[in-house]
Structure 1
């Protein structure tokens, strides 16, 4: 059993990560901006706390005593690059202060490459708003790659499509370790939040990829 701190625990991905980790016997600290609005998360093996992922001191406080961290955070009320760059710096600094050695983050499928040096969001006609949001994740990845940190981080990107919020957990997924979009296995299946959570917790329990971006898909 490990102690895992989950940032962004109140979102679609975060909630499934909390459930997946608890189902495997881990103790979880669920970090949200306002615990009063997420009380259903609390109880049993889950401690619900307030935290600010853009402040290293807050990250260090809530992460102290944990074995690993998972970040599923998202904000739409501030510019994407501002938020994700701030969060990346705060997570690395705060987890370093708390001596938490493993960080697994959710990326976005649009930063995956379709050809060497060409990301999904570089396609002609890609929506400007979506590209701006994707560029924030790309900037976050740049921070991770260039930081002098002792934290063993990994970014996991699902396919560059909508995720299935209703599909049940299968426990199965494919991995692409070169930062490229994985070709569709059958052309129809959407990747589920539940199986994305499986991939995230798997990389906490048994780290196989280090300081890189990987793709996952059904």
Structure 2
């Protein structure tokens, strides 16, 4: 399997690269600056400079792009729309590293996590930005996308346990009432989805 990882230098991107390489996949790191991953194959380009030709031949492209600058939250939509446009009509699947804030709190899907009263204000801009990009992605029937939301507590330093719970559109917790996943176990879940391709044009979520 040929897999390209956009924003591979980021914390979650590097772990996705590592997980895919450990499974013997043909991995290309797609990075804006010098490659800091374990991948030997590299495309060094800004995400907005990527072309259809750049992404030809990949079975899966992972979009691990993220931004925290409140003034640039529109880039979640801008970059994801660009990737969808250049992958439109192709057989390449697009797996998106999403956020937890857009997960629904009820079966009617009338309220999202970031719309609850006690949602941390410091995470509101990024959650709204990611939520908007997901809303736009849902309209695309010309791209084989899968949006993968982590748990509310997304731990960059957490250990890889080798297990996770796969859920859907709704916010879920474990038996202790916790919504938690480490970056390493999230990477495991994402690469599993890359291999299996069970959730085309769906949003899924993962937690411990």
> Following the alignment from structure 1 to structure 2, what is the Cα–Cα distance between the partners of residues 89 and 31?
17
Match 2:165 to one of 167, 174, 197: 174
Cα deviation, 1:160-209, whole Å, max 9, x if unaligned, reads: 12x222333222111112x1111223346841111101111111110111
How many Å apart are 1:75 and its aligned residue? 1.9
- Deviations for 1:84-114, whole angstroms, at most 9, x for unmatched residues? 11111111112237x3421111111111111
Counterpart position of 1:20: 19
Contact 2:151–2:179 at 8 Å: present in 1 too?
Answer: no
Equivalent residue in structure 1 for 2:207, among 199, 208, 217: 217
Partner of residue 41 from structure 1, selected from 20, 37, 55: 37
CA separation in 2, counterparts of 1:73 and 1:42?
Answer: 18
User: Contact conserved, 2:67 with 2:73, CA < 8 A, in 1?
Assistant: no
| Residue in structure 2 matching 1:84, options 76, 86, 89 | 76
User: Partners of 2:141 and 2:200 in 1: how far apart?
Assistant: 14
Normalising to structure 1: TM-score of the pair?
A: 0.86
1:38-77 pair list within 5 angstroms: 38=35, 40-41=36-37, 46-55=40-49, 58-77=50-69
Partner residue of 2:111 out of 101, 106, 118? 118
Q: What 5-or-longer segments of structure 1 have no aligned partner?
A: none
Q: Aligned partners of 1:147 and 1:10: how far apart in 2?
A: 28
What are the residue-to-residue correspondences of 1:146-165 with 2, within 5 Å?
146-149=139-142, 151-161=143-153, 163-165=154-156
1:186 corresponds to 2:176: yes
Question: d(CA) in 2 for partners of 1:20 and 1:9?
Answer: 12
Q: Provide the rounded CA distance (Å) in 2 between the counterparts of 1:110 and 1:135.
A: 8
TM-score (normalised: structure 2) = 0.89
1:74 CA drift (Å): 0.8
Gap change, CA 1:106 and 1:128, over 3 Å in 2? same
Larger relative helix fraction: 1
Match of 1:109 in 2: 100
Cα distance in 2 for residues equivalent to 1:211 and 1:29: 24
